[in-house]
Amino acid sequence: MLRKELVNKIFHADCIEAMKELPEKSIDLVVTDPPYKTITGGDSNGKNSTRPKGMLSGNRKLFKHQKLKISDWIPEIYRVLKNETHCYIFTNFLNLKEMLIEAEKAGFKLHNLLIWEKNNCTPSQYYMKNCEYVLFLRKGKAKWINDIGGSKTVHRFDNIIGNKTHPTEKPVDLLEFYIKNSSNEGDIVLDPFMGSGSTAIACINTNRRFIGFELDEKYYKIAIERIKNHKALIHKGLQDYITK
């Protein structure tokens, strides 16, 4: 059983160590966008641009804590998930093969490869990139999603352009879509790489509980402030409704 003081909180911690404190089979769903190797595209015309040495091999750094081995954290995600549950992991083409291999080593089965189609593109000489991949994994026996007849493998949600609270911030409505499809109200959702708190916001909006870890103090503080402000807005909305 999870201790009550762990739920509906984000912790400033290294998730690899922090997840070891979570009981086995205590989490209902994982939705996460982990740090992984990235490269740049071309310039604004889609042509080759000058890149620092090592960039093409995926050494571009978007934030401070990026060099993590996939094999260090995927087994812990598998361990803490309950049987017959789902896991959504965002990734890019550069990391897709390794992510799949390590997920299968940990015990996961691939349900499907999902695609988030954005409203913007990254210029490239090898076709412009306008999507991200999402590994839709399961632990144990297959479990149906809640929206059986209406959900397809390509998901069109607007990307966040400008005013991002995190370099790889994901749309809250996209996260809500996955959360609602693979959990029930009151379930516990884990995001080991919480970033600026978007998964927590999505959980609040869908009446799920959450646990998150974020190692970068800057984004941890942003996440705490976002959640505080979001809850205040919800409370104000309820108060306004009651007084009308």
Percent of the chain with pLDDT over 70: 84
Res 229: pLDDT: 94
The answer to whether residues 169 and 196 touch, using CB atoms and an 8 Å cutoff, is yes
Res 49: pLDDT: 42
pTM of the predicted protein model: 0.86
pLDDT digits (tens, 9 = 90+) for 58-98: 444 555 555 689 999 999 999 999 999 999 999 998 999 99
Mean pLDDT of 3-21: 94
Q: What are phi and psi of 2, to 5 degrees?
A: -80, 140
CB neighbours of 98 closer than 8 A, spacing ≥ 6?
Answer: 70
Dihedral Cα 166, 167, 172, 173, nearest 10 deg: 170
Residue 46 predicted with pLDDT over 50? no
CB neighbours of 13 closer than 8 A, spacing ≥ 6?
Answer: 213, 214, 215
If DSSP codes are grouped into helix, strand and coil, which group holds residue 73? helix
Residue 15 predicted with pLDDT over 50? yes
Res 155: pLDDT: 94
